[in-house]
Structure 1
Amino acid sequence: MDFSERIAELSKKVKTLGDSLTTEEATKNALVMPFIAALGYDVFNPGEVVPEFSAPIGEYKDARVDYAILAEGKPIVLIECKALGTPLDFKHCNQLQIYFHGTEAPIAILTDGNRYRFFSDLEAANKMDSKPYMEFGLDDMDEALIPELRKLAKGKFDRKACMDAASELKYNREFKRIMAEQMASPHEDFARFFISQAYDGRITQNVLERFTPVLVAALDQYINDRINDRLKNAMTQQKPGVAEPQQPGEDGPENAGSDSRIVTTEEEREAYYLVKSLLMGTVDPARVAMRDAVNFCNILLDDTIRQPLFRLHFNKRPWRVGLFDGDMKDDRVEIETLDDILSLADRIRATALKYNAVKKCKEGE
């Protein structure tokens, strides 16, 4: 059973056992320890996982965090647990912040066994941030975060890679939160910026009050239009007779999704989310699409095989992946595990950038 399957099993367990877990100890035994085990650590080996880990600092000489995950004898992840359903509020964050300051661990997790809030020290060294860089819920999983969880797995932890990913996730999360707030109730400065681009007169309070509701409606309509455009493009690409170029002897898009022989595996899905996360900051993640076929699984930019980013040949061992370097040539590389894809990140990003450059060039013609 691979990592994503173990997490999926835990998700089922949360939904099944939820009502019976009323204490912190029960939550630890039923959910938190299995979560640590899913990351590949031996919860009964004190060289890997230490319960009641000592984190003394200042007057808190007896401070102990519920679990510490170790690598080479040093703590890399602290986990503070609460009973299932307990609000993970400021009080508990403050408690975890004390433990964090008393250790060398770069990652701290506050959890009730279902919700996992991940913290680091992105703002000030050795001082836990007040806001998590990532939140993950087992009862309502965001599969796009599975590759981020894998970075904490046994033998996979790389401090710099984790900190880089944490920074991107934190600010991506905050920007989306701010955008959602502005979409619902625009700040005056936000509204003033848009109105100033369209309205030639002086922007008085009356003008703001008049046009702010119009701005909100326009933003909603813009998002709806973008969604409808994507749906129309997808439908157009699936229509019979609208065939795209394909390599000789390989499955074309007309076979994808309609052939009973096509089975999208968990490993293919996980590889797709991994590639999607690697492209964060290079292209809009919404532009990265997966299209499965009989003999391989395509990862595409803008859901068109004219812009292949990566190809998965996972039907048999050894696994191979295809890189395109911005053209239609499938340069195949053998890999042993999904983590080997990480070493190919620069080539995948370069391919996406090349497609973007071609697109901008055409738009400028």
Structure 2
Amino acid sequence: MNITLIEELARKIQYEDFRSSMIRKEAQTRTSLIDRMLEALGYDVRDHEVCSIEDNAAFRKQGGQKVDYSLFKNGNLVAIVEAKAFETSLENSTITSKLSDYFKNKKLDEKQNCRFFAMLSNGLEYRFFADLNKENLLDTEPFFIFNLKDYTSQDLKTLQMFSYDKIDREKVWEWGKILRAIENNVINLSPDFAKFVIEKSLLTNQKKTEKLVQEYIPEIKKAFEYVNSKIYKNQSIESKPHKTSKPDENLNPIQKGKVQAFWEKSIIEALSSSSQTLKAEEIWEKIQAKYPKEQIPTTNSNPVKRVSEQCLYKIENIKAIGKNPSKFILKTTSWTEEEILERYNSDIVKLYQDIKTDIMKLGNVNINPTKPYISFKINDKNFVGLILQQSKIRVFFTPRVSEFNDPAKRLIDTSAKNTGNGNTEFNYETSEDKDYLLSLIRQSYQIRS
């Protein structure tokens, strides 16, 4: 699961311009948020074997009912997804009723005893449903909700259970059944569970009458609230930063997103206010002049260094001019290959140019330069990307390690590391590796063709 991409989406929805572009626009919401969230979960919406868009969801496929997405893994349906325009209320019974119909019809198509889930999303909330209360009948209430505006590290851990790499339909369904049982019995405190608590307490010599159960329910609730507060307190103590922690290391994803959003906004504001290039020190001075100290979210003892790192690596439309100490300027155009290559030494540039020449010979290849990397596409799909560094080139591929013939075992599986750069990597350091690398690139090209 690509947590970096999820954090990026969480940052974007904080901007009014981004949100307003999707209000009452389902297609835009799907493109800008839902498609990307599915991508973060490992589902390639462009791959028909993984995602069927506008999939037939009519009774025995006789009719015009279509669900927005059907997601598959190894040929098995794992989820259907219904999309709505950004921030549309998902409490609408008409919406959930339609989703229930799709689920029931898909159950008939996929055989009654198969397990799959239903997701309902407005780009902000991702609600997961299943048939936990009654087999083959979709519950009216979701058993898990992921909200881009308000999520925790535990929510991310739970969301990962639905990712392409991790999903196990039976185990997730069983987890949902357990969760629903806890909700129905513990959180809502059913009389049966109250009797169980009384029996396990010191009240074993008393008859468990309905009157006694009702009498002790308030006390049991108070006990659970106390236990819950202790659990929360222990978690808070465990999550406190150690003295050796790096800046922002202990922030949760929402907090990290807010910190990154502040730096991006404030640095762009500083650069926009000047017609000249600015050093990191000058950008920091402008930020200090505009914002009170308490509004600047940083634990970094060297904020100038942080400004420099943000400009160099984190913000797409900023260009560094010259050598250290660099000056920075806002870019108004897309990145060119020449602008990227000018940051690297001649040996790395030559290594890049040699491999690029052979990549372009594959045919029908488009080059896509971006600030962090240069990727190459076939049929509008990335099949290889090159991250240039001062001593090597990191080569990344979207296909997984298992899809390659890699006799020398040189590929690195990065699918679980949330790097945001494909699922597989290869370190290209010398021209001696060129032939082997080319064999991997050709395989990726064929897979993505």
Deviation at 1:58, TM superposition (A): 5.3
Unmatched segments (≥5 aa) in structure 1: 239-255, 267-316, 318-334, 341-365
Tell me whether 1:92 sits opposite 2:95 in the alignment: yes
In 2, Cα distance between the equivalents of 1:77 and 1:212? Answer: 39
Residues 1:59 and 1:22: Cα distance change in structure 2 (over 3 Å): same
* 1:116 alignment partner, SS class: strand
In 2, Cα distance between the equivalents of 1:232 and 1:39? Answer: 28
Residue equivalent to 2:244: 259
Q: How does 1:317-356 map to 2 (within 5 A)?
A: 336-337=413-414, 339=416
Deviation at 1:5, TM superposition (A): 0.7
In 2, Cα distance between the equivalents of 1:61 and 1:88? Answer: 26
Tell me whether 1:65 sits opposite 2:75 in the alignment: no
Residues 1:208 and 1:59: Cα distance change in structure 2 (over 3 Å): same
* 2:128 alignment partner, SS class: strand
Residue equivalent to 1:5: 4
Q: Is the 8 A contact 1:134 1:170 kept in 2?
A: no
Match of 2:119 among 109, 114, 118: 109
Deviation at 1:127, TM superposition (A): 4.4
Residue equivalent to 2:174: 167
Tell me whether 1:179 sits opposite 2:173 in the alignment: no
Deviation at 1:3, TM superposition (A): 0.3
* 1:102 alignment partner, SS class: helix
In 2, Cα distance between the equivalents of 1:232 and 1:73? Answer: 42
Task: Give the aligned length.
Answer: 247
Q: Is the 8 A contact 1:117 1:136 kept in 2?
A: yes
Residues 1:208 and 1:140: Cα distance change in structure 2 (over 3 Å): same
Deviation at 1:165, TM superposition (A): 2.4
In 2, Cα distance between the equivalents of 1:41 and 1:232? Answer: 34
1:20-50 CA distances to partner (integer Å, 9 max, x unpaired)? 4223233222211221222334434444433
Residue equivalent to 2:19: 18
Residue equivalent to 1:140: 150
Match of 1:34 among 33, 36, 46: 36
In 1, Cα distance between the equivalents of 2:218 and 2:250? Answer: 46
Residue equivalent to 2:422: none
1:302-348 CA distances to partner (integer Å, 9 max, x unpaired)? xxxxxxxxxxxxxxx9xxxxxxxxxxxxxxxxx944759xxxxxxxx
Q: Is the 8 A contact 2:132 2:180 kept in 1?
A: no
Deviation at 1:227, TM superposition (A): 5.7
Deviation at 1:97, TM superposition (A): 2.2
Deviation at 1:118, TM superposition (A): 1.7
Residue type of the alignment partner of 2:128: F
Residue type of the alignment partner of 1:8: E
Q: How does 1:134-283 map to 2 (within 5 A)?
A: 134-154=144-164, 156=165, 161-176=168-183, 178-182=185-189, 191=194, 194=197, 197-198=201-202, 212-224=217-229, 230=234, 257-259=242-244, 264=249
In 2, Cα distance between the equivalents of 1:232 and 1:4? Answer: 22
In 2, Cα distance between the equivalents of 1:96 and 1:58? Answer: 16
In 1, Cα distance between the equivalents of 2:25 and 2:236? Answer: 50
In 2, Cα distance between the equivalents of 1:66 and 1:263? Answer: 38
In 1, Cα distance between the equivalents of 2:218 and 2:188? Answer: 14
In 1, Cα distance between the equivalents of 2:152 and 2:28? Answer: 25
Deviation at 1:210, TM superposition (A): 5.9
Match of 1:53 among 52, 55, 62: 55
* 2:123 alignment partner, SS class: coil
Deviation at 1:93, TM superposition (A): 2.4
Unmatched segments (≥5 aa) in structure 2: 252-393, 395-411, 418-449
Deviation at 1:86, TM superposition (A): 1.7
1:248-304 CA distances to partner (integer Å, 9 max, x unpaired)? xxxxxxxx81125698599xxxxxxxxxxxxxxxxxxxxxxxxxxxxxxxxxxxxxx
Which stretch shifts more, 171-180 or 132-141? 171-180
In 2, Cα distance between the equivalents of 1:211 and 1:153? Answer: 42
Larger radius of gyration: 2
Q: Is the 8 A contact 1:54 1:65 kept in 2?
A: yes
In 1, Cα distance between the equivalents of 2:219 and 2:78? Answer: 50
Residues 1:233 and 1:117: Cα distance change in structure 2 (over 3 Å): closer
In 1, Cα distance between the equivalents of 2:156 and 2:235? Answer: 26
Residue equivalent to 2:319: none
Q: Is the 8 A contact 2:56 2:66 kept in 1?
A: yes
Which stretch shifts more, 197-206 or 132-141? 197-206
In 2, Cα distance between the equivalents of 1:206 and 1:99? Answer: 45
In 1, Cα distance between the equivalents of 2:32 and 2:142? Answer: 24
Residue type of the alignment partner of 1:163: E
1:115-167 CA distances to partner (integer Å, 9 max, x unpaired)? 1122334566654444434221111123224344345444x265xx2321232
Q: How does 1:68-83 map to 2 (within 5 A)?
A: 68-71=70-73, 75-83=77-85
Residues 1:233 and 1:131: Cα distance change in structure 2 (over 3 Å): closer
Residues 1:166 and 1:89: Cα distance change in structure 2 (over 3 Å): farther
Report the RMSD for the aligned CA atoms in angstroms. Answer: 4.3
Deviation at 1:214, TM superposition (A): 4.3
In 2, Cα distance between the equivalents of 1:121 and 1:209? Answer: 31
In 2, Cα distance between the equivalents of 1:265 and 1:233? Answer: 12
Residue type of the alignment partner of 1:107: F
In 2, Cα distance between the equivalents of 1:262 and 1:193? Answer: 47
Which stretch shifts more, 187-196 or 57-66? 187-196
In 1, Cα distance between the equivalents of 2:173 and 2:104? Answer: 18
Residues 1:53 and 1:213: Cα distance change in structure 2 (over 3 Å): closer
